[in-house]
Amino acid sequence: MIAELGLAALWLAAALAALQLVAGAFAQRDGTTELAGLARPAAIIQGVLAAFSFLMLLILFAQTDLSVKLVAMNSHSAKPMIFKLSGAFGNHEGSMLLWITVMALAGALIAAAERRLPERTMMATLAAQAFVGLGFYAFLLFSSNPFERLPQPAMEGMGLNPLLQDIGLVFHPPTLYVGYVGLSVAFSFAVGALLTRQVTPDFARAMRPWVLGAWIFLTLGITAGSYWAYYELGWGGWWFWDPVENASLMPWLAATALLHSASVLAARDALRAWTIMLGVVAFSMSMVGTFLVRSGILTSVHAFAVDPERGTFILVLLSIYIGGALLLFALRAGTVSEGERFSVTSREAALVFNNVMLSAILGIVLLGTLYPLLTEAFDVRVSVGPPYFNPVGAIFVVPMLMVMAVGPLLRWRQDNIVRIRLPMLIAGGAALAVLLLVTVTTNIGILPLLGLALSAGLGIASFMPLRGRKLRLLPLATWGMVIAHFGIAVALFGMASESAFSEETLAAVEVGDQAEIGPWQVVLSEVRPTAGPNWTALEGRLLVSYKGGTSKEIDPQSRNFWAPPQETTESALVTRWNGQLYAVIGREAGDGRWQLRLWWKPFVTMIWYGGILIALGGVLALIGRLFADLKRRAVKLRGAERRGLSVRNVEPRDAGA
């Protein structure tokens, strides 16, 4: 019954999306159709129905209803409850339902909350959102129905991949999905604005909070995903340039560029067409990412079942949406009139420079990710990894970070570089000092060296915009920028330090023996069997002490899951303020000795603290923008009351087609 309710809700939601498309499309043409009143409610009800449908799937998984195919394939009655629930989206169909649910909720939120856009652009936006949504409803209902019943209920479920049975999976995919799909709003806004040719600073102000929201979730999702891969895969790395990681990085790069170009549009009425373009590209990258993962075209730990039919379906959807939006852009961009001018030394110019650098990095990541597909067409198999991504990316990251340190100090429109020579000298001096100090005292690679120097310079420069300002009067959005930029410096420091100063050792030790790694002594005191709800394990008891201090116990495991049968290595970590000890236990060498792999990674945690700071900066900026908008609206309201008019009439009515 629950499965049928969920499916019915999904069909109804799809029907409402169709209604929303028709109503929005007619309303955006003449603005006065009676249908216009239907678009907003349709969007809201559609959101509620999709959420209801997803809730039904969660209930099915919570009850482990084995008559439902998806549950039988991906769950198991012996799993802990939290992993039963997270298992609902740890598979293809469930994750697509989550995707469409987030998308419908985002649409409902615009319909309910967005009041700044001109009515016609709003209608076009809702229509575009519904149009994109319909494709994914069709995909879900026709080729990946999550509520399909089995002719005979299964006796027991097949279980969930143990690598995915981790607290990280409970939060990581939904966070990332909110980010991915949140960008659909930017896409719909961009298409809406192209349709009605209304690309104005007000449009940018309306779009910015949505982009910011999606970007915050993407940032958190990527940060969490990186930490998950770091401790769960047991290889000691935090970024593998895996296609799926790239798939989450690419929308982030595009959204970061979009965020900054929208700021230029909002503040200075420049970069109109470019902002629209980025709005289209950001969500396109989300969809390309989904396509790469779901189609199984690229091998990855994240890939679900390979199914060519689904791959083709998504490919067709992608070409319709991305191709259509780009075609619309090509037809309309020329008619979007030019924005304001600015000088070569101005904040706009710095932002433009960084936008171009971000786009170049995006292009490099995209090419590197797709290259194996390209060569496969010629029957040559290659894999592209850090030797490509790191140096080629750095060529554009380094100048971008340098300009990023200076940009916020420049004035809009036109400025003189001599005016900001003092902060530039301080930041540049700090970077140079670190560069010299590190070169003299150690011998590390060029990239980590540059990373350390730049993180010092950028870290100091990121606080420079506060100089000479009254901190209490500073807008929250400016605080947000300062903290996010500082977060970049912190993360960069962690990456550079991890890559430059990590120590690694691989040893075979007998019980009672000691191994050393960096400043740590590690004693293997015992190896014992242990068990969990759906696994058994061999657990090594390690007594570790930092520079001879009091010792602490950690327990890395080698786990055996029985449903499905699989082994995983569970790393054990000791976190100090200045880094992490990372321990993995392997097999018995055959003569009573056990393999231990140990890493000492100085300041590695800064990578993820930096990510959190970046997201925090986004949250502050979002709150600041929303409050500013509310205030502006209240002022407008008061002004309108004084004139004895209702607010509705004061809102800019569209002058007509």
Q: What residues line the site for other proteins (CB under 8 A)?
A: 161, 163, 235, 299, 301, 338-344, 352, 356-357, 359-361, 363-364, 367-368, 371-372, 375, 380-385, 387-388, 391-392, 395-396, 413-414, 506-508, 558, 564-569, 584-587, 589-591, 593, 595, 597
Q: Residue 506 or residue 635: which is nearer to other proteins going by CB?
A: 506
Minimum separation from the CB atom of position 531 to other proteins (A) = 18
Q: What is the CA radius of gyration of the chain?
A: 27
Minimum separation from the CB atom of position 657 to other proteins (A) = 25
Task: Quickly tell me which residue has 């407008």 as its tokens.
Answer: 636
Minimum separation from the CB atom of position 431 to other proteins (A) = 23
Minimum separation from the CB atom of position 385 to other proteins (A) = 7
- Cα-Cα-Cα-Cα torsion 206, 212, 213, 215, nearest 10 degrees, comes to 140
Q: Residue 230 or residue 396: which is nearer to other proteins going by CB?
A: 396
Minimum separation from the CB atom of position 1 to other proteins (A) = 32
Minimum separation from the CB atom of position 488 to other proteins (A) = 20
Check residue 457 and report its DSSP letter. H
Check residue 88 and report its DSSP letter. T
What's the rounded Cα separation, in Å, for the pair 47 and 107?
7
Smallest CA-to-CA distance from 91 within 83, 103, 80 is with 83
Q: Residue 331 or residue 395: which is nearer to other proteins going by CB?
A: 395
Q: Residue 176 or residue 362: which is nearer to other proteins going by CB?
A: 362
CB-based contact 97:631 (threshold 8 Å): no
Q: What is the largest CA-CA distance in the chain?
A: 91
Q: Residue 270 or residue 620: which is nearer to other proteins going by CB?
A: 270
- The b/e string for 64-85 (b: 16+ C-beta within 10 A; e otherwise) is bbbebbbbbbbbbeebeeebbb
Which residues, at least 6 apart from 319, have a Cβ–Cβ distance to it below 8 Å?
Answer: none
Q: Residue 149 or residue 593: which is nearer to other proteins going by CB?
A: 593
Minimum separation from the CB atom of position 349 to other proteins (A) = 9
Which residues, at least 6 apart from 82, have a Cβ–Cβ distance to it below 8 Å?
Answer: 167, 170
Minimum separation from the CB atom of position 356 to other proteins (A) = 5
Strands (E), 431-534: 503-509, 514-517, 520-531
Question: What six digits make up the tokens of 2?
Answer: 């629950």
CB-based contact 43:27 (threshold 8 Å): no
Q: Residue 129 or residue 557: which is nearer to other proteins going by CB?
A: 557
Check residue 149 and report its DSSP letter. B
Minimum separation from the CB atom of position 381 to other proteins (A) = 4
Q: Residue 319 or residue 416: which is nearer to other proteins going by CB?
A: 416
Smallest CA-to-CA distance from 657 within 191, 197, 331 is with 197
CA distances from 313 to 130, 138, 146, 377, 515 (A): 18, 10, 16, 20, 54
CB-based contact 557:570 (threshold 8 Å): yes
Minimum separation from the CB atom of position 506 to other proteins (A) = 5
Q: Residue 15 or residue 336: which is nearer to other proteins going by CB?
A: 336
The secondary structure element, H or E, covering residue 339 is none
Q: Residue 188 or residue 354: which is nearer to other proteins going by CB?
A: 354
Q: Residue 151 or residue 387: which is nearer to other proteins going by CB?
A: 387
CB-based contact 42:16 (threshold 8 Å): yes
Which residues, at least 6 apart from 22, have a Cβ–Cβ distance to it below 8 Å?
Answer: 35
Long-range contacts of 648-651 (CB under 8 A, 24+ apart): 651/115, 651/119
Q: Residue 259 or residue 484: which is nearer to other proteins going by CB?
A: 259
CB-based contact 137:14 (threshold 8 Å): yes
Q: Quick count: other Cβ atoms within 10 Å of Cβ 208?
A: 23
Minimum separation from the CB atom of position 621 to other proteins (A) = 26
